[in-house]
Amino acid sequence: MRQHRAMLEQMASGFMPARVLLTALELDVFTACGAGAATAEELARRTGARPAPLARLLNALAALGLLDKRGDRYRATPPARTHLIAGRPGYLGDIMRHRASMWERWSDLTAIVRTGRVPPRAFTKERERRFIKGMANLGASAAPACARALRRELAGARRLLDIGGGPAVYACELARAWPKLSVVVLDLPGPLAYARETIAAYGLARRVSVKAGDVCAARSFGRGFDVAFMSSLIHSFKPAVVAEVIRKAAGALRPGGFLAVKEFFIDPGRASPPFTALFSINMLVAGAGDVYTRGEVEGWMRAAGVRPVRYVDLPQFSGIVVGRRL
């Protein structure tokens, strides 16, 4: 009984460390620390915060192992230096700040479950920026593993369509891993502005291009691609829309081409794994989409004339369903 109580208390108070971390990121505390040590007063000047409440936040961050406190000076610990200081290769601050922007939506959960209605909230330019840059944070660590996982399909491929490719991190990592591959990134104009920056940073403008289009509204995605790829896209849509997106993706393939759908897949009982079950709540409060099973995606593939051929497990709670166009 004691361990049950401890589990429930930890679960109910889980918002506390999350809120401390997210507030620290919104204030750019870790970037303000940099590689050195600083007092609360120095960090208050750098972040525009008030010294006294900031000192409490810094002490909480020290208690969580994200800052090291020696006397009155604070220094970022190795996890914070690696992942929470802006501009460093492993930076995850953008995706975490996107989660901070979801905080208010999650606070609506009780009302949403009670009424079935999602309160409207504006998707501002700043929210869009955080979301797209957050996707780039995740892609930077996941895309190389994806390139390795799809080596069977990519080894002989020459043209790949990245559907809803956002900041083009996956497109660039796939092109970098396979030098004979050219990639087209299909997405809305807003995300493609970031995609162009990514492509330039990778030096891949000759092999990675962009095409503006709405994956829901477009009549087709093109023709003759060897591989069509989508990552973390279909959870944004309702089932009928997902079926149509997969149909258009299949239509973009040459006969024998491959369709690869990377997602957070839920088990058939829809109660595991825990991350994906919770992510379904994230989509509920966002008022868009849901999580899906491998079987559902395979069914939509078959209906589109694509035969599922294999499933690949990936890090970060995701996997890829791969199918081949008949």
What the chain holds in terms of domains, given with CATH numbers, is 2-89 (1.10.10.10), 125-325 (3.40.50.150)
**Side chain identity, residue 99:** R
Task: Specify whether the CB–CB gap between 162 and 229 falls below 8 A.
Answer: yes
Q: Tokens for 140, please give them.
A: 């930077």
DSSP, residue by residue, 246-308 = HHHHHHTEEEEEEEEEEE-BPPTTSS-SHHHHHHHHHHHHHTS---B-HHHHHHHHHHTTEEE
| The pLDDT of residue 315 | 83
pLDDT in tens, 160-206: 999 999 999 999 999 999 999 999 999 999 999 999 999 999 999 99
pTM of the model: 0.93
The per-residue pLDDT of the chain, averaged, comes to 95
Mean pLDDT along residues 100-105:
92
Any idea how long the chain is?
326
Torsion angle (degrees, nearest 10) of CA 60, 137, 143, 15: 40
